[in-house]
Amino acid sequence: MLGVPVWRGAAVYQSCLIAAADDPATSLANPRGGAHAFSDPDSNSGYQVTASDLAGMAETPDRLFSRAIFTYGHRNVVRTVAGGVNR
């Protein structure tokens, strides 16, 4: 179960999925086989939201991605993607 903040009756929590400009993935539904950098296993936006969305698609990070790593910081995720995590 995943808790989501509600403000004035609407869920307001957001999480961003970023990819390099030349990455063919355009959504969470089509990055099969690519590498993925998560922030932290205890982070809502850095892991749990993505893991929950994948579970809703009957997927897991281990099955969807060729490699999944934790960078232990949101800035580190950006640096890892910029540095070519998928290359």
Q: What is the 3-class SS of 20-66, one letter each residue?
A: CCCCCCCCCCCCCCCEEEECCCCCHHHHHHHHHHHHHCCCCHHHHCC
pLDDT, one tens digit per residue, over 47-68 is 988 899 899 999 998 888 888 8
Closest to 36 in 3D by CA, of 46, 44, 57: 46
Q: Is the pLDDT of residue 29 over 90?
A: no
pLDDT, one tens digit per residue, over 71-82 is 999 899 889 888
Confidence of residue 8 (pLDDT cuts 50, 70, 90): confident
H or E element that contains 79: helix 74-82
The mean pLDDT of 41-51, rounded to a whole number, is: 88
Q: Is the distance from CB of 33 to CB of 72 less than 8 angstroms?
A: no
